[in-house]
Amino acid sequence: MNAGDLIGTAIANTFRSKARTTLTVLAIFVGAFTLTLTSGLGTGINRYIDDTVAGIGADDVMTVTKTGEASADAEDTGPREYDPDSVVTGNGPAQDSVTLMTDADIQAIGDVEGILEVEPVKSVQLDYVQYGDDTPYVASLGGLVAGQNVQLAAGAEPDDGSTELQVTIPVTYVEPLGFADADAAIGEPLTVAVTDGAFTQHDVEVTIVGVAEEALAAASGTGLVANQALEDDLYQLQSTGLPADQLDRWAEATAWFDIDLTTAEIEELKERLTDAGFAATTTADQLGAFTTVIDTIVLVLNVFAAIALLAAAFGIVNTLLMSVQERTREIGLMKAMGMGSGRVFALFSTEAVFIGFLGSAIGVVVAMIVGTAASTFLGGALLADLPGLTIVAFDPLTVALTIVLIMAVAFLAGTLPAARAARKDPVEALRYE
């Protein structure tokens, strides 16, 4: 029997007992449907995170801080020694301290093998922002590192090449500041206030070039994003009047490394930085916890789908065992006519694989329809606050993989009945009443 006839015969046999096949296919359908939806959920959320990763940080960038000596021992709950260069970050249990870095430290980071470039992060503390004479609002400010981007609702990103003082504002600031909508804010002047080292407040006139979407994770959090010119300008202002020994002190620096480095090589690079007395965090590190949580949830959901599939696999075993029993005589006849045991095995496992294919194909297609519909519905209602999020998304490769996986499971389930059929003795089978 050639392969084409084998498959044709197997498919025809599958439809011989329609009710039984339908029920088995239904069981697999449930598993395939669940698996597709849960992995679609994972794909959707992770794709959203991937899209917003660029907002959190570029792939070839790490944030470097100088480790405060007292904070080295996390186990030590006793009081820490005072370190004049140390600043406390975080509150409560998350409290940690970093040591402020000087130009020499920045130099040292740049000297570490593997670091291509390093730049101190000039942190600017804004007092408020104000449009015209309207109410001033508290705001924070961040800059963009090469490779980062802002998800915009309107306008453009601040241009680091421009000498104009540019800024983007979060979409939540549009109305309170007194603009009709996001587009109305573009090109408008904004007053930004900072206090310098001598406690004098300065007002700076800047231009709004863009309005940023409220994203799950963004460069600026809920703050403004400035271009290089504005950042430098504000930093300059803020440093005015500071004592000389407090000038050019930074809490953190941004370091670039080769984008082609492997995870292991990045680990080595971090190791070298640690040896030099610094702590480094990459974008992946920051995202790590995030994706781990989502991956875990998806994994748990997939386990439920796998359990459904396992039950369905037993359904296949049962269906085919009955089928083998019913067709004992037919198997005997085929063997008497010279059909080899291998072919008999192939015939029955092909039936199993075909049942698996039917169930998974229908399940996947229905799951994609339901998932897309649900996603559209939720996107418009419950999740409207998270623009850009497609809660259930389908990746063709994953979907194809799901079908192949279920067919493989079906094949495994079919091996027991198929082996039983292949072992049948033609004489016994023909005598069977």
Partner 1 sequence: MTHSTATEDRSAPILSVRDLHKTYGRGPSRFDALRGVSLDIREGESIAIVGKSGSGKSTLMHLLALLDQPSQGSLLLDGQDTRQLRGARLNRARNKTFGFVFQQFFLNGSQTALENVTLPLKIAGVGRRARRYRATNALEQLELGDKAKNKAINLSGGQKQRVVIARALVNSPRVIFADEPTGNLDTNTGGVVEDILFTLNREQGITLVIVTHDEELAARCDRRIHIRDGVIVDGEQVAA
The residues that touch partner 1, with contacts defined as CB under 8 A, are 1-2, 5, 9, 16, 329-330, 333-340, 343, 425-427, 430-431
Residue 276 phi/psi, 5-degree rounding, is -80, 0
Give the C-alpha separation, 214 to 156, whole Å: 15
> Which is nearer to partner 1, 276 or 430 (by Cβ)?
430
Distance, CA of 279 to CA of 98 (rounded, Å):
9
CB of 371 to partner 1, least distance (A): 38
CA separation, residue 34 to residues 301, 315, 326, 368, 390 (Å)? 8, 17, 32, 11, 18
- Residue 149, helix vs strand vs coil: coil
Smallest separation, CB 430 to partner 1 (Å):
7
In angstroms, what is the minimal distance from the CB of 300 to partner 1? 45
| CA distance linking residue 19 with residue 38, whole number of Å | 29
Q: 16 vs 423, which CB is nearer to partner 1?
A: 16
CB closer to partner 1, 8 vs 132: 8
Question: Which of 2/263 has CB closer to partner 1?
Answer: 2
Nearest approach, Cβ of residue 394 and partner 1 (Å) = 38
Instruction: Measure Cα distances from 305 to 177, 189, 199, 308 in Å.
Output: 49, 55, 62, 5
Q: How far is the CB of 341 from partner 1 (least distance, A)?
A: 9
Per-residue buried b or exposed e for 397-432, using 16+ beta carbons within 10 Å of the residue's own CB: ebbeebbebbbebbbbbbbbbbebbbebeeeebeee
Q: For 161-186, b where at least 16 C-beta lie within 10 A, e where not — what string?
A: eeeebbbbbbbebbeebbbeebeebb
Show the CA angle centred on residue 403, arms to residues 399 and 407, nearest 5°. Answer: 165
Residue 147 or 426: which CB sits closer to partner 1? 426
Residue 138 DSSP label:
-
- Max CA-CA distance within the chain? 106
Return the number of the residue (4 or 90) whose C-beta is nearest partner 1: 4
CB of 42 to partner 1, least distance (A): 44
Shortest gap between Cβ of 41 and partner 1 (angstroms)? 43
CB of 15 to partner 1, least distance (A): 10
Q: Long-range pairs for 378-381 at CB < 8 Å and ≥24 separation?
A: none
Nearest to 190 by CA among 218, 172, 168, 171: 168
Q: Which of 390, 392, 395, 388 lies closest to 149, judged by CA? A: 388
Q: In the complex with partner 1, which residue's Cβ is closer, 10 or 225?
A: 10
Copy the structure tokens of residue 392: 């259930």
Q: What is the closest distance, in whole angstroms, from the C-beta atom of residue 327 to partner 1 in the complex? A: 9
